Chains A and B, each alone.
Chain A
Amino acid sequence: MKNYISPVILAALVALAILGPGAFGLPDGTTAPPYSKPAWLDSSIASKVTIGVKSDISRGHVGASSNLEWDYSPPARVSITGTLDEGRLEWITPERAYLLADSPGELDLDARDIPFKKSLGISPFADMSKSLFPSRGTYKLSLAGGGDVVMTIEGGRWGILGTDHRGRDVTSLFIRGIRISLIVGIAATLIATILGVSLGLLSGYVGGLADSVIMRGVDVLLSIPTLPILMVLSGVWGKGLWNLVFILSIFSWMGTTRTIRAMTLTLRDASWVEGLRALGAKRSYIIFRHLVPEALPLLLANVALGVPGAILAEAGISFLGLSDPRLPSWGRMLHEAHTYGAFTSGAWWTILPAGLGISIICLVFMDIGRKLEELADPRLARAASIEARAEAGK
């Protein structure tokens, strides 16, 4: 049972990434007040409510009203839109009545508008939703005359994971983040592996000048802090998704090269390879028909083990605000939470999902990689890693 947990989680994440937030009817863009709480969190806060009144004078109506049972704390936003043909629009609270409008025309009122506050006799600095919703009880939107008016009350409660500083649905952002992480992680690691294998084979099998140049390159790249280079490069070469993949992959091939080189060195002198050479096999034939297939299972494990590094690097760059702002990645979500005061709003729901998402996806790939490594060839894997370690320590 335990062996299936990681693949199942990975499959679920891939499915979510392919389906996208649209499949669950989750909205894009601003949908609710900023930092709305998750809907299940606090039932004293209302979610979005709309009430409307409609009365058509040409049909002989003289007015309309609709009631609202309010059992929550004051809402985060109140707005009124529609048209008033004639008569008066009133908001009747359990305590008093407010005259919202009495001149005919288009209505577009928001509880944050200062002229609207003044017209109701509320201080411009006061929170109008508290005046409009002073207590729990029955409220009434009443229209005497003709018109078609909708009142939208947004309580500050939204979806499974609430909203971020721009009022975007965090669940939707989270699901879109999976896609970015998977694409960047897998694509960057694949490219880096191809690069690493070619250079490792070149260095290990061909040897000579190529070997010393490549190994020097590996040593140098391994002893330079890569994040600053990645930062500068993403600042310089543009912030698109594929730019990022490219940048990440040219700085993460070194480990694979070392492993493959160590493996090739052990295999090159193996008697069966010597036998192949004695039979007159060409170098390319030995490499592509024998060495590469031999290394393939180990490589697969290497890819899986390399993905977390790429995902973490992408998240780091996005967290520093150096990624494309239009790409809703998990690192970007954390960057925005950190920059736009999620703490002071107590909005943990903008931090936990993204952070845990990165951690879980990394743990899953690590686990799968380790299983693959064991499956591949325990003896060979161990030999190669000891060899690589000895190399590193020489």
Chain B
Amino acid sequence: MKSFLARLGESIIVILVVLVLNFFLFRIMPGDPLTGIVDPRFSPEAKQQLAAQWGLDRPMSEQFFVYAREMLSFRFGLSMMSGTPVWDELKNRVPNTVALLLPALILSAALGIATGVHAALHRGSGSERLVMLGGAVSFSFPSFFVQLLLLMCFSYLWPIFPLRGTTSVPPPEGFAALTDYIWHLALPLFSLVILGFGGFALYIRNMMVKAMGEDYILMARARGLPFRRVVWNHAFRGILPPVLTILLLSLPGVVSGAVITETVFSMNGVGRFLLEATNSHDYPAAGAAFFLLALLTVGCNLLADICYVLVDPRVRREGARE
């Protein structure tokens, strides 16, 4: 419990840092945030009115508190491009990003564990080569290149998947809407799994090889336990905490990947919203999207911490002693 509370405190610190970073990122830049929308021909009064509308005429400290309130209450203020509340534009996009990232993470972890363990048990086999290849792809192939290739193969040369978008235009009704959504999601999801599993698999293989050489595994086998049970209940159980750590450390990268994936596949998610807002110098919108992505990371981190307490008896026992 204590360690979990410490983690919770750490998460809150991260969110505060993000909040401060987000505020100053957009305010240290040279020039006026209004230059994007103000025409040189505007009268000074009109400029002042616009500045007042976004609260830019107030002192910096007051701006920060207004900004923090807007962020923490999920209102995010008004978009500088459309003039509508940012949250109205963002709220439809959050589920799309989650629907892409969560299955991608779960599937690539599952595939990584399966191939990693298999490769560790069958040294020199085809699955070990697959793990090595997957690792090389994970660490040195740019994600967008792999995705462009997939898009070229499966949407252009052999068009079985859509070239772009989150749904068809116009979107179909009823049950067809779900299949249409999954059909659009399939290729991006597949690309993220291909790109993601190799890293996990490589780590798991290395740890598993070491674990299988330990004395307690020899002991378990000497006791005549079934091999499968030795592998999963003894060896894999033992490396579960570091596996979770690696999963945890990969989260920011996965969220960063959302920006690129959503751009390549022209998906309607938070990542592409951030890119569009950055490109059009719409600071409230870009700030909101960045904040949401950071929040998503921190949230997943916390989730992983809860799992950590569940899988690591040392942490659990420490809690019981409290």
Contact = CB atoms under 8 A, between A and B. Distances in A.
Interface of A: 216, 219-220, 222-229, 231-233, 235-237, 308, 312, 315-316, 319-322, 331, 334, 337-338, 343-344, 346, 348, 351, 354-356, 358-359, 362-363, 366, 389, 392-393
A224 B263 contact: no
B139 A362 contact: yes
Contacts of A236: 25-26, 28-29
B17 interface: yes
Contacts of B233: none
Interface in B226-258: 241-242, 245, 249, 251-253, 255-257
Contacts, number: 138
Nearest to A305: B139
A388 to B, nearest CB: 11
11 contacts: A225-B253, A225-B297, A228-B294, A232-B25, A312-B142, A316-B142, A343-B155, A351-B148, A355-B145, A358-B145, A393-B242
A334 B145 contact: yes
Contacts of A389: 242, 245
Contacts of B136: 363, 366
Contact of A225 (B25, B143, B144, B293): B293
Nearest to A360: B140
Contacts of B152: 343, 348, 351
B140 A308 contact: yes
Contacts of B29: 236-237
A316 B17 contact: no
B211 interface: no
A336 to B, nearest CB: 12
Interface of B: 10, 13-14, 17-18, 21, 25-26, 28-29, 136, 139-145, 148-149, 151-152, 155-156, 163, 241-242, 245, 249, 251-253, 255-257, 259-260, 263-264, 271, 274-275, 278-279, 281, 286, 289-290, 293-294, 297-298, 301
A220 B259 contact: no
Question: Which of B14, B251, B301 has the most chain A CB atoms closer than 10 A to its own CB?
Answer: B14
A320 B149 contact: no
Given A227-B256, A229-B25, A363-B140, A235 B278 contact: yes
Contact of B144 (A229, A319, A344): A319
Contacts of B17: 220, 224
B148 A337 contact: yes
A366 B259 CA distance: 25
Given A226-B256, A343-B151, A355 B142 contact: yes
B25 A392 contact: no
Nearest to A393: B245
Residue with the greatest number of chain B CB neighbours at <10 A, chosen from A320, A343, A389: A320
Contacts of B263: 319-320
A238 to B, nearest CB: 9
A64 to B, nearest CB: 48
